[in-house]
Structure 1
């Protein structure tokens, strides 16, 4: 139940890109998105809407996912622009893998490897402990957790 309560708090900040998000807020919302997509896929398969329902859920959760990721990066003192390169590379990897021939496939595998490294760096930032003091993005999200 904790994941859903945390996800509800994150959804209340639907498109809020300012401020900071704790590790707990980010990872609980990440788990919620996985559960919501799996449930949408299951319900979509039952009712014959295999692509429509999961696609709708993914589209509805895209902006809050992006917002919480940007706020999480703010918590570790990084800009939200850190998301641009891995996301563009992920999009381009689908195009690069479409080329046929041995040389284009070798280049595509190298590009995919670099994309995985970019995402590994991003995951490392998401797992990093945020600063407990205010930074240029605002106060620490867990600074006054004793007051709850």
Structure 2
């Protein structure tokens, strides 16, 4: 039940990019997004909608994912701009692989490797313990609690 309470809590902050988010809030919302996408994909398949329903769920959950990611970065005293480079690099991967020939494909694989490294760095920031004292982004998030 905690998973869905966390998801509701995070969805209430739909586009709130200020403040801080604890590791628990971030990762529980991450799991919720995976489950919601899987359920949407299954229902879409059963209703013969193809990937339409899963795509709609993905688009609807994109802003809250970015918001909780930025707040998580704030918790480790990093700016939300840390998300820009990996996301832009990921969007450009199909462009890199669009060129034909051996050399462009080698360059595209190298680009993909650098993109993976950028996301690995982002992953380490998401897993890092946040500061327990207030920083420039606000007070430390308390242990994730739903008590009043």
Q: Give the TM-score, by structure 2 length.
A: 0.96
Unaligned runs of 5+ in 1: none
The count of residues paired between Structure 1 and Structure 2 equals: 147
Q: Distance in 2 between matches of 1:101 and 1:139?
A: 53
- Runs of 4+ deviating beyond 2 Å: none
Q: What's the CA shift string for 1:45-102, capped at 9, x where partnerless?
A: 0001112101110111000000000000000000000000000000001110121110
Q: Would the aligned equivalents of 2:24 and 2:144 in 1 still touch at CA under 8 Å? A: no
Q: Which residue of 2 aligns with 1:107?
A: 107
Q: Which residue of 2 aligns with 1:10?
A: 10
Q: Which residue of 2 aligns with 1:22?
A: 22
What is the DSSP-based 3-state SS (H/G/I as helix, E as strand, rest coil) of the residue aligned with 1:81? helix
Unaligned runs of 5+ in 2: none
Q: Distance in 2 between matches of 1:89 and 1:52?
A: 25
CA RMSD in angstroms, aligned pairs only:
1.4
What is the DSSP-based 3-state SS (H/G/I as helix, E as strand, rest coil) of the residue aligned with 2:61? helix
Q: Give the TM-score, by structure 1 length.
A: 0.96
Q: What's the CA shift string for 1:3-35, capped at 9, x where partnerless?
A: 111111000111000000000000000000000
Q: Distance in 1 between matches of 2:43 and 2:85?
A: 34
Q: How does 1:1-148 map to 2 (within 5 A)?
A: 1-142=1-142
Q: Distance in 2 between matches of 1:10 and 1:144?
A: 11
Cα–Cα, structure 1 residues 21 and 144, in superposed 2: closer, same or farther, change >3 Å?
closer
